Amino acid sequence: MSFAASNESVHVRAPGKINVYLGVGGRHDDGYHALATVFQAVSLYEDVVARQADDFSVTVRGAAEADAVPLDDRNLAMRAAKLLATAAEYDGGVALEIRKSVPVAGGMGGGSADAAAALVACDALWGTGFSPARLHDLAARLGADVPFALHGGTAVGTGRGDQLNPALARGRFDWVLVTSDEGLSTPVVYAELDRLRDEEGALADDPALSLDVPIPVLQALRSGDATQLAASLHNDLESAALSRRPDLQETLRHGIRAGALAGVVSGSGPTVALLCADPDVAEAVRSTLSEAGREALHVHGPVPGARIVG
Ligand code: ATP
């Protein structure tokens, strides 16, 4: 089917995420782990521009590791565009330009943000007019973090992280992100977690195949109190990420010494997220870490999900 083109190009911005809480349960038969997580979308964005074209193509600029991003059907944004075209029976193509700010393989869902942005951009470019629920279904087929990048804000993810429910979060939280030049592969970190758990015998008898986010985490988000949230930050993948990247332990300590309330490895790492009491403290922490030669960024959350710009 061919649709009347509504625009020559569409620009969409989608946020990276931090996992404020990440509980990892047992592994299902299909290889996926049961998750209970709280995502928060933060003010570090991917920009995707979609232009009318006969074929499908993708270009990537920006991040230090942009070279590591595939430009073929392995690219999540390309897969998103093709999935939407198939679902809509659209017979044209699209030229996607991705401007990356979220670190590649950084545990911040940059590829997922690109996929969410590509869905929204192509839907507008092609005049597909899919409902948010239909776009959500397509997003879930692309990856566990993609639905969240579409919605943004603060949300609880269960199942594989893709069953989303909005979480009430009052006010704004200030974070300092410490990024790494070299990424960590998500499958490698999960495999390391399995290895560590096998070694310890943990979960061997009773692996929980369904998990919940602890109530105090949700209460802390509702309170809007950074000190309360700092006490609830937790990531079951952190020990595995630290096992692969022991230097991150020093990054966490350095952040606390510089004035952060608490720190956590985001998702599968290696990005470290440091929660600060307010914007001024966050700026001071960022500046101390930057002066010590670390890549540090001050961001805030929650922010909205994938949105058309301009
Ligand atoms: P995950 O979402 O698995 O936690 P991540 O946030 O750590 O991953 P991403 O930057 O999203 O990291 O991507 C991880 C890998 O996915 C990259 O190393 C790359 O090979 C592949 N990839 C596919 N499409 C993209 C994309 N658009 N941007 C970045 N990486 C992509």
Atom of ligand 1 nearest to the CA of 143: 2
Burial string for 46-78 (b: 16+ CB within 10 Å, else e) reads: bbbbbbeeeebbbebebbebeeebeeeeebbbb
Flag the least confident range among 59-68, 181-190, 216-225.
59-68
Instruction: Please give the distance, rounded to the nearest whole angstrom, from the Cα atom of residue 272 to the centre of ligand 1.
Output: 17
Q: What pLDDT score does 207 carry?
A: 56
The DSSP secondary-structure symbol of 163 reads E
Q: What pLDDT score does 1 carry?
A: 45
Instruction: Please give the distance, rounded to the nearest whole angstrom, from the Cα atom of residue 265 to the centre of ligand 1.
Output: 17
Query: Virtual CA dihedral for 49, 54, 58, 62, nearest 10 degrees?
Result: -40
Atom of ligand 1 nearest to the CA of 100: 28
Q: What pLDDT score does 18 carry?
A: 97
82 is a catalytic site residue:
no
Atom of ligand 1 nearest to the CA of 58: 27
User: Are residues 203 and 219 in contact, defined by beta-carbon separation less than 8 angstroms?
Assistant: no
17 is a catalytic site residue:
yes
Query: Mean pLDDT over residues 282-295, rounded?
Result: 97
> First CA to last CA across the chain, in angstroms?
28
Given a cut of 70, whether residue 131 has pLDDT beyond it is yes
Given a cut of 60, whether residue 5 has pLDDT beyond it is no
Ligand 1-lining residues (CB < 6 angstroms)? 68-70, 74-77, 98, 104-112, 114, 145, 183, 186, 267-268
> Can you tell me the distance from the alpha carbon of 212 to that of 232, in angstroms, rounded to the nearest whole number?
14
What's the pLDDT band for 62 if we cut at 50, 70, 90?
Answer: confident
Given a cut of 70, whether residue 63 has pLDDT beyond it is no
Residue with CA at minimum distance from ligand 1 atom 20: 69
**Structural domains of the chain sorted by starting position, each given as residue range(s) with its CATH number in brackets:** 9-168 (3.30.230.10), 173-301 (3.30.70.890)
Please indicate whether residue 67 or residue 280 has the higher confidence score (pLDDT). 280
Query: Mean pLDDT over residues 128-146, rounded?
Result: 95
Q: What pLDDT score does 26 carry?
A: 83
Query: Mean pLDDT over residues 111-138, rounded?
Result: 97
> Can you tell me the distance from the alpha carbon of 248 to that of 269, in angstroms, rounded to the nearest whole number?
9
Predicted TM-score (pTM) of this structure: 0.92
Reported as half-sphere exposure (CB side, CA atoms, 13 A), residue 83 has a value of 24
Q: What pLDDT score does 198 carry?
A: 84
* Backbone angles phi and psi of 254, in degrees to 5: -60, -40
pLDDT in tens, 156-204: 999 887 789 999 999 999 999 999 988 899 999 999 998 998 887 755 5
Query: Virtual CA dihedral for 112, 116, 119, 121, nearest 10 degrees?
Result: -120
Residue with CA at minimum distance from ligand 1 atom 17: 105
> Can you tell me the distance from the alpha carbon of 125 to that of 281, in angstroms, rounded to the nearest whole number?
42
What's the pLDDT band for 2 if we cut at 50, 70, 90?
Answer: very low
3-state secondary structure of 236: coil
> How big is the CA angle at 193 (ends 191 and 197), to the nearest 5 degrees?
120
Instruction: Please give the distance, rounded to the nearest whole angstrom, from the Cα atom of residue 184 to the centre of ligand 1.
Output: 10
Reported as half-sphere exposure (CB side, CA atoms, 13 A), residue 253 has a value of 6
> Can you tell me the distance from the alpha carbon of 64 to that of 80, in angstroms, rounded to the nearest whole number?
23
What's the pLDDT band for 206 if we cut at 50, 70, 90?
Answer: low
What's the pLDDT band for 4 if we cut at 50, 70, 90?
Answer: very low
pLDDT in tens, 14-44: 999 999 999 999 887 787 888 999 999 999 9
Instruction: Please give the distance, rounded to the nearest whole angstrom, from the Cα atom of residue 204 to the centre of ligand 1.
Output: 30
